[in-house]
Structure 1
Amino acid sequence: MTEERLNELEAKLAFAEDLIETLNQTVIRQQGQLDLVQQQLRLLHQQLQAVLPDDDARSARDEIPPHY
């Protein structure tokens, strides 16, 4: 291998390593955001369940007519 070819491969490797690290940090950040959104969704679901009446307690007026 020539010195020029070796330098080119080393540069490409360095670029690839930097890109992998950048992508890894992006995945870590997005996983944190996803965890937060899932936690908020669970909290909203719990709050909604606490506010909504049981299915048995619903009256006919609460139902949407079939033509809607």
Structure 2
Amino acid sequence: MNDERIIELEIKAAYQEDLLQALNKIVAGQQQQIDRLEATCTMLNERIKSLSAEGAGGENAEEVPPHY
């Protein structure tokens, strides 16, 4: 009976090890996706800032056109 208990515990440990490896792969993939999304957000923020800077140098959007 003691041998059966040890075998059962070894089987559980093996399943947990496999599960841990699978979860580790998932977390690593999610981290890569987060890194890509952060890079995209940074690029978009810089693009928005550059467009805002270009727009700020031009005419005021609330200004009445000269023909009025």
Q: Deviations over 1:39-63 (max 9, x none)?
A: 0000000000001148x87x584xx
- The residue aligned with 2:45 is 45
- The residue aligned with 1:21 is 21
The residue type paired with residue 12 of structure 1 is K
- The residue aligned with 1:6 is 6
- The residue aligned with 2:65 is none
TM-score computed with the length of structure 2 as normaliser: 0.76
Q: Which has the larger radius of gyration?
A: 2
Q: Distance in 2 between matches of 1:40 and 1:60?
A: 29
Q: Distance in 1 between matches of 2:2 and 2:10?
A: 12
TM-score computed with the length of structure 1 as normaliser: 0.76
- What runs of 5+ residues in structure 1 fail to find an aligned partner? 62-68
Aligned-residue CA RMSD (Å): 2.2
Percent identical among aligned pairs is 34
- What runs of 5+ residues in structure 2 fail to find an aligned partner? 63-68
